[in-house]
Amino acid sequence: MANQNYVGVQSASDGSFIYGRAGKQGDLIKSKLHGDMYEQAYRGNLFSVTNQAAVTTTAGLATTFTGLAIANPAGSGVNLVIRLFECSQSAVGAAGAIGVMVGSGAAAGSLTVRNAKVGGPASPTTTASAGATIATPVLERICGSVGSLATTGYGLLPSICYDFHGSLIIPPGYYCASYTSAITTSALAFGFVWEEVPV
């Protein structure tokens, strides 16, 4: 049985059957073709939220939490598949660790969750908050650290952008939130990017 593949670009609609793609020398082409989150963003399943200004954070695993949290309500019917966690320092911090913590329950939110497809609808389920009372969290990942100098002491530095590659899933009835090992005063801003995938 011959393995038949199509040479060249194909234009197909959802629900159609197509051949695999091949090059002119018979080589099988397997390519992302776009960025690795393009398909989910294009279909409106990729979301993000970011603090709109630097926030004061609580220390460690406090249940009266400030920072950035997203929550997946019970009965939502989707898993939140975490792709990216971001953190930027804009003022003197308190030296310590930066990470992500998780727990059960909700984090009632007032922040706007945005669709990665600009103009697309906001998430119908996920809530986001810069401050909430949460159930006792557990530290899930350490993603970086914060320094105690004024930001002028560092020069230009990239923000933390920790790629989970989809390796952290927040099921219905759970939340994830930023973690700082020490209290910081209006020094940090955070962001999350996630896919919403049917359970």
Task: Give me the pLDDT at residue 41, please.
Answer: 92
Structure tokens that stand for 10 in this block: 């194909």
Mean pLDDT of 16-37: 79
Q: Which phi and psi angles does 153 have, rounded to 5°?
A: -80, -10
Q: How far apart are CA 64 and CA 123, in angstroms?
A: 25
- Specify whether the CB–CB gap between 105 and 176 falls below 8 A: no
How many Cβ atoms sit within 10 Å of the Cβ of residue 147? Answer: 16
151 pLDDT higher than 70: no
Q: How confident is the model at residue 156 (pLDDT cuts 50, 70, 90)?
A: low
Structure tokens that stand for 151 in this block: 């930001």
Query: pLDDT (tens digit, 9 = 90+) per residue, 115-128?
Result: 999 999 988 889 99
How far is the CA of 10 from the CAs of 13, 184, 189, in angstroms?
Answer: 10, 53, 43
Query: pLDDT (tens digit, 9 = 90+) per residue, 45-59?
Result: 999 999 988 898 999
Residue type, 168: L
Residue with tokens 């930066």: 98
- Specify whether the CB–CB gap between 111 and 49 falls below 8 A: yes
**DSSP per position, the chain:** ----EEES-----TT---PEEE-TTSPEE----S-TTHHHHHTT-EEEEE-SS-EEE--TT-SEEEEEEEEE-TT--EEEEEEEEEEEE-S---SEEEEEEEEES-----SPPEESSTTSPPPSS-EEEEEEE-PPPEEEEEEEEE-SS-GGGT-S-PPEEEEEEEEEEE-TTEEEEEEESS-EEEEEEEEEEEEEEE-
Q: How confident is the model at residue 191 (pLDDT cuts 50, 70, 90)?
A: very high
Q: How confident is the model at residue 102 (pLDDT cuts 50, 70, 90)?
A: very high
Please state whether the predicted TM-score (pTM) of the whole model is above 0.75. yes
Mean pLDDT of 162-167: 94
